Structure 1
Amino acid sequence: MTFVQLIDCKTSRFDEMNRLMDTWVERTKGKRTATHSLIGKDRSDSAHIIEIVEFPSYEDAMRNSNLPETDEVFREMVALCDEMPTFTDLDVVRDEQLYAANVRRLFEVIATKGQLPPLNDLMAENYHDHDPANEQDVLGLDAIRREMEMWRGAFDFAFTVEDQIAQGDQVCTRWTWNGTHKGDFLGIPATGKQVTMTGVTIFRCQEDGKITEGWWQYDRLGLMTQLGVLDQYEV
């Protein structure tokens, strides 16, 4: 679970404090576990500073805190403060930006050439997939990998994300899919045709950002028409 630490302090020596933060990054280079940090200055009190530091987990934050370089910088920071800084530790329970980024990564990974990379950093083991083209829902990470491999074996393809909206724990993505039919697809031999589809997918994410459920809607009839499957039914 993503972990955030808020460092709240007051200092009349902000420029020195800012340089100290650069020093901290340099001293912990290659050891630092923080993934993102920003510093904010109170608009109503220029001496009031808050630094927000993000870590992949609480354990990563503790490893960072235990570095001797961190301890040295902390003592120097206290010396620059007008009063003792305070620390607030937060477990992140909702991060819409992370959810949207992970969904974008998934669309990229699905279309990766060569072997399908592991998905356990993006999708939950108990992932639940809803696709109206399937008689039954696809349950579990291994099962959705097999579904992806079916598409990857039949087409060389790529997704273009047209729009994306994140709200709460869900991310809605409108996409365009372009592919080349290179292998068997539902009993249809490779045609070599260039095909395209549009669709919308809603993914639900859990607190750590992993995708745990998905609902797909896409123009499968249009795809089959492009592959020539419906020609035999034309009058």
Structure 2
Amino acid sequence: MSAEKSKEEKNKDLVARMYEALNKTVIGLMPEFWTKDMGWYGPAGIGTLHGVEEFDEALRPFNHAFPDKVARDEIRIAEGDYVAAHGYQHATHTGDWLGIPASGKSVKIRYMDFWHVKGDKLAENWVLIDILDFLEQLGYDIDKVLAFIGSKPPEFFDGVETD
């Protein structure tokens, strides 16, 4: 006789199944795991996404830049209707991402996620991505990058073209 899974275990399993789908790098799989009106709150450069369709479409540039990516959580914990994880995207940087030219380098992109589960689907996701560490893996001198950014007023970047 097996015991029924706790809410926390069910929520962690939902995240695990969603990761399996994300790792396939196929657009159109996310509605199975997310509420239609979900919110995704990402870092600077990516921003906030509203609705599972917008989220699914926003995966295209990342999938293009890292077609062989695999997300692996090192830690995944749950409490009530919330799940949190820390892990890495292991990938080869073969396409431009956030205006950063493809490098062809193998990278480990550190992330941290916090999900809110409603019913049997993910409803919200707060995401931290260590973009500075990613740049450092590509050979950028982070001190110089930050010094350059800090030396310019915000208006300097108004005319800068990105993808």
* TM-score, normalised with respect to structure 2: 0.77
Which contiguous aligned blocks of 4+ residues in structure 1 show a shift greater than 3 angstroms? 228-235
Task: Name the count of aligned residue pairs.
Answer: 145
Unaligned runs of 5+ in 1: 1-37, 41-51, 55-93
- Which residue of the partner structure matches residue 177 of structure 1? 89
191-200 or 162-171, larger mean C-alpha shift: 191-200
Counterpart of 1:96 in structure 2: which amino acid? E
Alignment CA distance shift 1:191-1:169 (3 Å): same
- Which residue of the partner structure matches residue 210 of structure 1? 121
Tell me how far 1:187 sits from its aligned partner: 2.4
| 1:121 is the counterpart of 2:121 | no
- Which residue of the partner structure matches residue 44 of structure 2? 133
Match of 2:102 among 183, 190, 210: 190
Tell me how far 1:100 sits from its aligned partner: 0.7
- Which residue of the partner structure matches residue 106 of structure 1? 18
Alignment CA distance shift 1:162-1:97 (3 Å): same
Q: Is the 8 A contact 2:111 2:130 kept in 1?
A: yes
Identity across aligned pairs (percent)? 25
Counterpart of 1:119 in structure 2: which amino acid? M
- Which residue of the partner structure matches residue 219 of structure 1? 130
Match of 1:164 among 72, 76, 89: 76
Which string of whole-angstrom CA distances, capped at 9 and with x for unpartnered residues, describes residues 89-108 of structure 1? xxxxx822221111112222
Counterpart of 2:136 in structure 1: which amino acid? T
* TM-score, normalised with respect to structure 1: 0.55
Tell me how far 1:189 sits from its aligned partner: 2.7
For residues 143 and 94 of structure 2, the distance between their equivalents in structure 1, rounded to whole angstroms, comes to 21
Counterpart of 1:139 in structure 2: which amino acid? H
Unaligned runs of 5+ in 2: 148-163
Q: Is the 8 A contact 1:109 1:117 kept in 2?
A: no
Alignment CA distance shift 1:170-1:190 (3 Å): same
| 1:228 is the counterpart of 2:123 | no
Alignment CA distance shift 1:135-1:148 (3 Å): closer
Higher relative contact order (CA 8 A, sep 6+): 2
Alignment CA distance shift 1:162-1:136 (3 Å): closer
Q: Is the 8 A contact 2:45 2:98 kept in 1?
A: no
- Which residue of the partner structure matches residue 67 of structure 1? none
Match of 2:111 among 199, 220, 224: 199
Tell me how far 1:135 sits from its aligned partner: 6.7
